[in-house]
Structure formats: structure tokens, C-alpha cells
């Protein structure tokens, strides 16, 4: 029907290409020659088995060459500069397989920017397929099988669940180099920007229109008290808590307010101080009840 418009909601692609210029025989020799153990601290992590994985042969000619070619190829395929985060190898013998997993991390603020790869220096006949599991709206499920060949490079979003079926070659192992790539300049903007509703924090005083740092001279010593003004509300806070004042007088040279607190008994408090317009110095008093009156000094921050 020509009057019907098709609107795509989800588009997820897996890219398949080749790496040229790598001697896979030498690369396999370097991979097989590495027998370093995974740090036991990682083995104890129940989020990952590390069962099939082996450390990458860093510092060897073909292996280092492959890192450069992978970075170049992935960046070109994605269309932006990508950097290698992690790289390792995995070998499957006859009958072995890899369970379903993804490479997604909670550090991926925008998951669509992060990619993983599988490069096959050895994918003999009967090799296990790479299987992607796709889920939409927790309802529509699909699986896509890719039959790897030696020299293939598969690029996919790190959040995609993937696995293999069983490796079917009795003579040769299926060897893959796996890696994660991150954007060189990742997007750090929030996925939903609620900052339009946030309290302004442009001021170094936490968004207060005015902020006074005061010292009250009590019989027990000097007590630090702060007073901040936000619009039509003043807030007084010290070591015992915060108190709101909704009726006060505030000018460039004078602050005056009266309010009641309940800590633990109800007390009426009057605060009055003058402000030097030139240097912001404050001088005044705080009166609690009918008899207790304490001097106040401080400054306008």
C-alpha cells in the first residue's frame, strides 16, 4: 500500500569483514605459547567463569600487529575513533561451547557506543557457530547464527547476548581473539536530562542568593552558624540541624528575623545584624527567649 509509511524502531547490525596482513599461523603459535594464569581474584568473581579464556600474548610481533589492525578496522567500520579496552583469546576443543553472555558494563553510559569483536585465526571445518540472541520488548526473541571462517572479523555491540553451539572438529581447535572497544571520546551526556528542574548550583554557596558565615558567642564558646537566603526563604543551620524562616527583613545593610524552634523545648529566637556594604562584615546579636542574648560576628560570603 503506497499510503502506508514504515517506521523502523530498532536497528541492530552485526558487521562481518576480514583482516588482511596477519600471519594466522604465527599468531596461533604466539597464542598457544602463552600459559599465564588468570589472577585468582578474577576467578572468584561469580559474574564470569573465565573458563575458556586465556591471556593475550602481548609483546609478540604478530599479536601486536593484530591489535593495530583491529583498532584501525573497527574505527573505520564504526566511523569514529575507537580505543582497545580489553583483549584475550579463547579456544574450543571438540564438544566444547561458550555459554550465553554479553560484554556490557555498568560503565557504558551510552551502550550503543561500545563494541566487541571476535577475530578467528583458526576456524576449521565443523567450528562452533557464533550465535547472537536478540530480544525486543522482552517478548520477541530471535537467534542469528554466523559460521566463522579463518580470518573473519565480527564486530557487534557489546550489549548483545551471544554464545556458541558445540565445536564439531575432533582434530583442530577453534581459536578466537575477543576484544572490547570504547569510543575515544565517549558521549557523557545523560540519557534523560532533568537538569532543567534542578536547583541552581552556579553559586559556590550551593545556590543561595546570599550566604552568611556567622559565629555566635555563647557562654560555652563560639558556635558556627550559617544563614542562607533563597528567594523568600531563609535557612539557619548549625550542628543541631536546619531551621526555616519564612518572615524576615533583608537589605544590603541589615538582616532581621524572628522564629521559633522546638529543640527540645519551644524557644523564640530573634536574629539581628548589620552588614558592612564595603567588606561584608557582620555585627549583631541573637536573642533566645526573654533573657539570653549573644553577640554575632561574621561575614557575607
Q: Binning pLDDT at 50, 70 and 90, where does residue 37 land? A: low
**Structure confidence at residue 80 (pLDDT):** 96
**Whether residue 264 has a cis bond before it, omega within 30° of 0:** yes
**Of 187, 209, 190, nearest in space to 199 by CA:** 209
Euclidean distance between CA atoms 173 and 164, whole angstroms: 14
Helix (H, G, I), strand (E, B) or coil at 193: coil
Helix (H) or strand (E) holding 217: strand 210-218
Instruction: Give pTM, 2 decimals.
Output: 0.67
When pLDDT is averaged across residues 18-36 and rounded to a whole number, the result is: 91
**Structure confidence at residue 231 (pLDDT):** 87
Amino acid at each position: 500500500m503506497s499510503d502506508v509509511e514504515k517506521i523502523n524502531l530498532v536497528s541492530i547490525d552485526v558487521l562481518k569483514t576480514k583482516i588482511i596482513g596477519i600471519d594466522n599461523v604465527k599468531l596461533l603459535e604466539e597464542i598457544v605459547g602463552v600459559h599465564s594464569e588468570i589472577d585468582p581474584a578474577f576467578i572468584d568473581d561469580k559474574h564470569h567463569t573465565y573458563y575458556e579464556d586465556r591471556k593475550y600474548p602481548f609483546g609478540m610481533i604478530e599479536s601486536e600487529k593484530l591489535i593495530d589492525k583491529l583498532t584501525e578496522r573497527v574505527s573505520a567500520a564504526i566511523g569514529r575513533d575507537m580505543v582497545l579496552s580489553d583483549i584475550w583469546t579463547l579456544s574450543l576443543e571438540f564438544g566444547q561451547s561458550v555459554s550465553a553472555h554479553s560484554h556490557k558494563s555498568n560503565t557504558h553510559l551510552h551502550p550503543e557506543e561500545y563494541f566487541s569483536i571476535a577475530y578467528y585465526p583458526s576456524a576449521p571445518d565443523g567450528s562452533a557457530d557464533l550465535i547472537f540472541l536478540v530480544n525486543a520488548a522482552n517478548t520477541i526473541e530471535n537467534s542469528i547464527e554466523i559460521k566463522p571462517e579463518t580470518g573473519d572479523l565480527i564486530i557487534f555491540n557489546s550489549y548483545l547476548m551471544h554464545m556458541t553451539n558445540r565445536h564439531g572438529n575432533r582434530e583442530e581447535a577453534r581459536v578466537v581473539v575477543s576484544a572490547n572497544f570504547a569510543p575515544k571520546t565517549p558521549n557523557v551526556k545523560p540519557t534523560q536530562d532533568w537538569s532543567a528542574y534542578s536547583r541552581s548550583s552556579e553559586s559556590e554557596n550551593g545556590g543561595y542568593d546570599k550566604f552568611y558565615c556567622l559565629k555566635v558567642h555563647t557562654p560555652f564558646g563560639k558556635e558556627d552558624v550559617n544563614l542562607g537566603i533563597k528567594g523568600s526563604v531563609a535557612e539557619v543551620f548549625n550542628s543541631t540541624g536546619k531551621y526555616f524562616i519564612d518572615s524576615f527583613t533583608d537589605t544590603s545593610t541589615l538582616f532581621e528575623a524572628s522564629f521559633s524552634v522546638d529543640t527540645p523545648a519551644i524557644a523564640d529566637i530573634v536574629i539581628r545584624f548589620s552588614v558592612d556594604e564595603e567588606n561584608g562584615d557582620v555585627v549583631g546579636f541573637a536573642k533566645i527567649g526573654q533573657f539570653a542574648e549573644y553577640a554575632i560576628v561574621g561575614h557575607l560570603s
